Amino acid sequence: SQKIEQNSEALNIQEGKTATLTCNYTNYSPAYLQWYRQDPGRGPVFLLLIRENEKEKRKERLKVTFDTTLKQSLFHITASQPADSATYLCAFLHGSGNTGKLIFGQGTTLQVKP
Amino acid sequence: DTGVSQNPRHKITKRGQNVTFRCDPISEHNRLYWYRQTLGQGPEFLTYFQNEAQLEKSRLLSDRFSAERPKGSFSTLEIQRTEQGDSAMYLCASSFYGPLDTEAFFGQGTRLTVV
């Protein structure tokens, strides 16, 4: 069955460093991946979308890569700040045509220490 | 339009009772999702609608769960005969599905506690 996996261990880094989070998927070839941020007690908030024909996408301090050979997406936050502390979720649309559904990984919690 | 709205925000119920949650999506969005999330896990897909049609329901979902989206607008999720294992955050999301799919917008969720 199709799976999307993120590192379940929390990532702890020092302020100013680059955080790198990993999303791996198996038994599927999504047309794109999405990344969301979730703060405790709140719904996820969309950050970035990267399509299969895009190797890299950037938005301010965020960078996402998509390697369809490795079946992996990496999410980078440069010059990290304590305010970046949150859980980050990757997701892809499973299915084709008009019937795709959005499914999520389990998320990775990032803690940025001042 | 202020985004996706879910009501109630919190619900405490006794085991065996029925509960119903409501989701009001962003008005121009044609797709609506329901997810369940427990602590330390990502959102788990429950079901979704394209306009008023329910396109898929998770096989993990027992027949105690039912969802509707009359007229393709708001949606309700009902859980009958609640069990303690139903305690979770229930999230609703909406999106506009078209040739270039866009991101999902989530509500704040309804936290259900079954005692």
B window 12-71, beta carbon within 8 A of A: 33, 35, 40-45, 48, 50, 55-56
Structure confidence at residue B61 (pLDDT): 78
| Residue B103 CA neighbour count, 13 Å, CB half | 15
B105 touches chain A (CB under 8 A): yes
Structure confidence at residue A48 (pLDDT): 93
A106 touches chain B (CB under 8 A): yes
Picking from A8, A102, A105, the nearest residue to B104 by CB comes out as: A102
The mean predicted confidence, pLDDT, of chain A is 90
Least confident window among A27-31, A83-87, B69-73: A27-31
Structure confidence at residue B71 (pLDDT): 86
Residues of A in contact with B108 (CB under 8 A): 42-43
Under DSSP, the state recorded for A72 is E
Structure confidence at residue B1 (pLDDT): 53
Q: Locate tokens 């008009």: which residue?
A: A98
**CA–CA–CA angle B9, B15, B21 (5° rounding):** 30
Distance CA(A94)–CA(A90), nearest Å, equals 13
Distance CA(B40)–CA(A87), nearest Å, equals 9
Interstrand relation of B10-13 and B19-24 (parallel, antiparallel or unpaired): unpaired
Write the pLDDT tens digit of every residue in A5-46: 998 789 999 999 999 999 999 888 788 889 999 999 999 999
Choose from A47, A48, A50, A104 for mutation: most chain B CBs within 10 A: A104
DSSP A28-54: ---SEEEEEEE-TTS--EEEEEEETT-
Residues of B in contact with A42 (CB under 8 A): 108-109
Query: Which structure tokens are listed for B98?
Result: 């078209």
Structure confidence at residue A93 (pLDDT): 78
Residue A106: C-alpha distances to residues A12, B92, B103 (Å): 17, 17, 18
3-class DSSP state of B72: helix
3-state secondary structure A76-91: EECCCCHHHCEEEEEE
Query: Which structure tokens are listed for A108?
Result: 């990775």
Sign of the alpha-carbon dihedral angle for A9, B41, A49, A28? positive
Give the confidence band of B101 by pLDDT, cuts at 50, 70, 90.
low
Write the pLDDT tens digit of every residue in B22-55: 999 999 898 999 999 999 899 999 999 999 999 8
Q: Examine the pLDDT at A94 and tell me if it is beyond 80.
A: no
Distance CA(A54)–CA(A107), nearest Å, equals 23
Q: Answer for the pair B72, B52: CB distance below 8 angstroms, yes or no.
A: yes
B92 versus B104: the higher-pLDDT residue is B92
Average pLDDT over residues A72-92: 96
Average pLDDT over residues A41-70: 93
The mean predicted confidence, pLDDT, of chain B is 92
Say which amino acid occupies A77.
I
Q: Locate tokens 């991946």: which residue?
A: A33
